[in-house]
Chain A
């Protein structure tokens, strides 16, 4: 009697959410695996033809896809370094008890609240018109020109915007880590004659390892899955030179209506994201030290 009553409560509390979750995440995930083995153009009336692993074979011969995969790796690497170096530097600056610390912290975090789509549009104007203007009027045309027209620089442009968005975010996490380091430990090190550099590399960095784990995870998965900024800033251009993973999948499915191939890419995308982030968390977790 009591046990069945408990079971009813259990169902009442968990089933509503689990039902929605299953319909939105689990079922599409399962169907998605099935779709990756068929050839279909997305029109319900047209037949879905089972093609086995053909889609998977095809995507690894798809030059545009491989190019966009390579591009995404390059971008992720670049973004990872810029965002974390900036976030860490900002957090160290902001926690060094300066008068402007609080307001600076507030400002640095703000871009993170603005959506990627809108950030991309703001910077589109900056890279096209403001950069051109500055270049023409200062004679520094070597740096300030329209970055979005040059395939290499367009990628750097996305990295700049991504850094502007994420640096404040990682800064907040690094600050939380730095504040967790006991003051007397720093004092003791100072008394023992450790200079600022030693305190940074021998005390702060090792104790910040948990923060590194989180920040690297967030930037890694964020950069890998970037779509909004990519869409609004470059739209994949010039001539597909900045079309990254997520956008390539989107275009394949909804642009070219190759649903099967696109879904196969989406599954590969998932596997890569999962493997890369799990490996990263595993590696950095191992290096965390206990206080």
Chain B
């Protein structure tokens, strides 16, 4: 009795998993088919595996450039977020005065503001900075990175803040007595202890920034600057009807994510769970 119920559950799980994966299967098999083959049977395996459409999609999406752009923007943004947010959060926790509390409150409460509420005035501000201060914020990777840092600052500070509160202060005091500056104390002693929460912050931010479409679409207009979601969007605008080519393009844009997932799977699942619970 017990065994049969376990078997039924097991079978159920397998069936659900297959259903869950079917879109991925459909995407992959159709990326190899010719057009007539695709319309004949959208579910069957392709008769031959040629990478013709991949080569075409790669070229039309400017895939390597887009990949490089995405990687650059995501990693540099992340670097700034981790460095600046951890420093800020540490200061806020260690000098726990009225000002720190207010800053923390403001940061946390702005997490509720949807992007749509900020996008238009943000573009005005960025345009203004470009026109009057002559720092090009629009249509540059630097500007996009700047905005990424601003948008992801509050959540990163929030996560670091919660973590640092549980880090014992004794070590820091000892180092201060030994003549370490605040800068030295933070980078030599505190930051290495923040490793687990840094991984959580990194994973959450990488997922969000890598997949972000709306912000880059508003800021970047040059073809050569496009990130992967942007080039996918424009690619689709031109080739929606050519589904086999489109599927090859989609598989390409998913590959980096899947590789990232299988390398860092444990950290990702843990990071996502922790980030949400806090």
Contacts and interface: CB of A to CB of B under 8 A. Distances in A.
A and B from one complex: yes
Interface of A: 6, 9-10, 12-14, 16-18, 20-21, 23-29, 31-32, 35, 44, 90, 93-94, 96, 98-101, 103-118, 121-123, 125-126, 129-130, 133-134, 164, 169, 172-173, 175-176, 210, 214, 218, 221, 225, 227-228, 231-232, 245-246, 249-250, 253-254, 259, 262-263, 266-267, 269-270, 273-274, 277-278
Contacts of B24: 122
A19 B13 CA distance: 50
B273 A173 contact: yes
Nearest 5 A/B pairs, CB to CB: A24-B150, A115-B211, A28-B121, A17-B84, A13-B91
A273 B114 contact: yes
B23 A113 contact: no
Given A17-B87, A29-B110, A173-B276, A35 B157 contact: no
Given A17-B87, A130-B43, A270-B117, A24 B277 contact: no
B42 A133 contact: yes
B75 interface: no
Given A10-B95, A31-B125, A225 B116 contact: yes
Given A13-B88, A21-B154, A29-B117, A104 B253 contact: no
A110 B13 CA distance: 16
Interface of chain A: mostly helix, strand, loop or mixed:
helix
Contacts of A122: 23-24, 26-27, 250
Q: Which of A25, A129, A225, A250 has the most CB of B within 10 A?
A: A25
B90 interface: yes
User: Could you say which interface size class chain B belongs to?
Assistant: 35 or more
A118 B254 contact: yes
Contact of A14 (B103, B183, B210, B233): B103
Interface of B: 6, 9-10, 12-14, 16-17, 20-21, 23-24, 26-27, 30, 38-39, 41-43, 84-85, 87-88, 90-92, 95, 103, 106-107, 110, 112-122, 124-125, 127, 129, 146-147, 149-151, 153-154, 157, 181-183, 186, 207, 210-214, 229, 232-233, 236, 243, 246-247, 250, 253-254, 257-258, 260-261, 265, 268-269, 272-273, 276-277
A93 B12 CA distance: 9
B118 A114 contact: no
A121 B30 CA distance: 14
B229 A118 contact: yes
